[in-house]
Every structure is written in C-alpha cells, then in structure tokens.
Amino acid sequence: MMRRWHLAHGRHIDLGARAVVMGILNVTPNSFSDGGRYNSLDDAVAQARLMVEQGASIIDVGGESTGPSAAPISAREEQERALPVIEALAPLHGTLISIDTYREETARLAVAAGAHIVNDVWGLQREPGIARVAAETGAGLVIMHTGRGREKLADPIEDQFLFLRRSLEIAHEAGIADERIVLDPGFGFAKETPEDNLDLMARFEELHALGFPLMAGTSRKRFIGVVTGREAPHRDAGTAATSVILRLKGAQLFRVHDVAINMDALAVADAMLTRQAHLSARSGQ
C-alpha cells in the first residue's frame, strides 16, 4: 500500500515501495543499549550524520529514556538535551527529524526548532494535548501502543485495536488528518515475555485492518536478547532479522540503532518483494 506521509514544515515522505529507516539518536545518559554515547552536541550531530550517510531517512531524537526501569526526568531536562540537537540538525539538507516524547510542551518546542515528526510512546494517552500540537503544526505523528499503566486484554491483537482505536479517536478529535498518522505496535512496551513479542510478530498482518502505515521498533529489544543470547549492544543482527520478517508482513518504517545492517537486510527484502510482484503480475496476464 502506497501512502504519502505528510509532515511539518511542508515536508513529506512516501511509504510503501521501499522500507524507510528511522535512526535512533538517544541523547540520554541511561538508554538501555547506548546511554551516554551521544550526550555531547558534537557527538550527537556526528552520529546523526553517519546514520543519514548509511541510509536513514529520519533521525529520531530522544531526551528521556523510555525503558521500564528508567527514572523520570523533568520536561525542562528533556528539552535541554533534545532541543539543541534538533536545532543543529534542522539545517542539514534533506534530513527529516522526529522528536521522541510524550510531552505536549516538548513536542511544540521541538517542532518549532525544526522537527517534522512527533513520536509518542504513550499513544496520545498520557498527555492528550500533544495531539493539539500535531494538529496545529502539521507534524507527522507516530502513535505507539503501550500496555504500561493499565489492564490489558488477553489477546494481544485485540489489545492493540482497543488502545490504538482510542488513540485515533483522540487524534481525530484534535483535527489530525489520517495522512499524518503512522501506527507502532510498541514491541517491548509491556509485552512482558519473549512469546508476547513473537506472537505480535507472527500476527503482525492483522494490524493492517486499522488502515494506517505501520512502524516496527524492535531494535535491540530484550526478546531478541533472549532468543539470541546476546546483550543489548550486540543484538543488531537479530534486529535485522526481525526487520526482514516484519517487512515481509507489511511494515513500512523501521526504527533502529544500527542503520547500516538494517538497510542491507531490508534492501534484500525489498528486492524479493519487487520480484514477487513482478512474477505475480506476469502469471496473471
């Protein structure tokens, strides 16, 4: 399914024909796999440039760790970490910038600083005012499913529909157009066991019933470590395997730490899908 994703500042990106990679840029001291590596502005900008050179279409800047054991920080601290990086990246030609936040104020300041996308891991349901920011600024919006802080339904896909449909109601009530929305099933966010995440992968196609482009955020997650026996910094090959599986199941965006290995893996997946479409069209003649 081809879709044009409309973003802030008059930008857009086409989804569907080829996988789109979003590079993770954590400017935090305590992110689970790379905390502290990009705390300085120079290091953060250098890493963003490297990810763009490797093929990332979007850089996702996060100023607060969203790991389950991470201590919360203030909005001001989050902004002091993330906003200077966004301001430094904004002049880079062609680079799309995402702000990874659930806070209304941080999202508004980030878009004003040059961000094109708001990526909310609480799916608009922690600070619903963030939906107004997306509506007023025209930002692209990633709405992520989470099971944190609530009772979940036993069936993982039914719980996805329950949560994400409520998030979509909030988005629509705020006036956000469908062409600005991408959904993320939230791998690792209160999916407590490896089986929970593997089940979500196995049934990923069912999420297309929601009618929106889908982003996969499996990168270096704990379930990959359980399967491979590797610690977080060494899970990139496993991540690439999940990217290929989810691409074949229809995911269009991939949020990853290691851009290069995922770009290569997804290039093979895309080549196969292109060939498959060609063979299907030929056999139908």
Radius of gyration of the chain (CA): 18
Copy the structure tokens of residue 38.
């990009």
Cβ contacts of residue 42 below 8 Å, gap of 6+? none
Q: pLDDT tens for the chain, 285 residues: list them.
A: 689 999 999 999 999 989 999 999 999 885 555 555 677 899 999 999 999 999 999 999 999 987 766 778 999 999 999 999 999 999 988 899 999 999 999 999 999 999 999 999 999 999 999 999 999 999 999 999 999 989 999 999 999 999 999 999 999 999 999 999 999 999 999 898 999 999 999 999 999 999 999 999 999 999 999 999 999 999 999 999 999 999 999 999 999 999 999 999 999 999 999 999 999 888 875
Cβ contacts of residue 7 below 8 Å, gap of 6+? 13, 96, 116, 117, 138, 139, 140, 180
Report how far Cα 271 is from the mean position of its chain's Cα atoms.
23
Q: In terms of pTM, does the model score above 0.85?
A: yes
191 is an active site residue: no
How far apart are the C-alpha atoms of 187 and 184, rounded to whole Å?
8
* Catalytic residue (choose from 81, 108, 221, 235): 221
Q: Which residues, listed in sequence order, are joined to residue 181 by a DSSP beta bridge?
A: 141
Assign domain 3-283 to its CATH superfamily. Dihydropteroate synthase-like (3.20.20.20)
221 is an active site residue: yes
Domain-wise residue ranges, the chain? 3-283
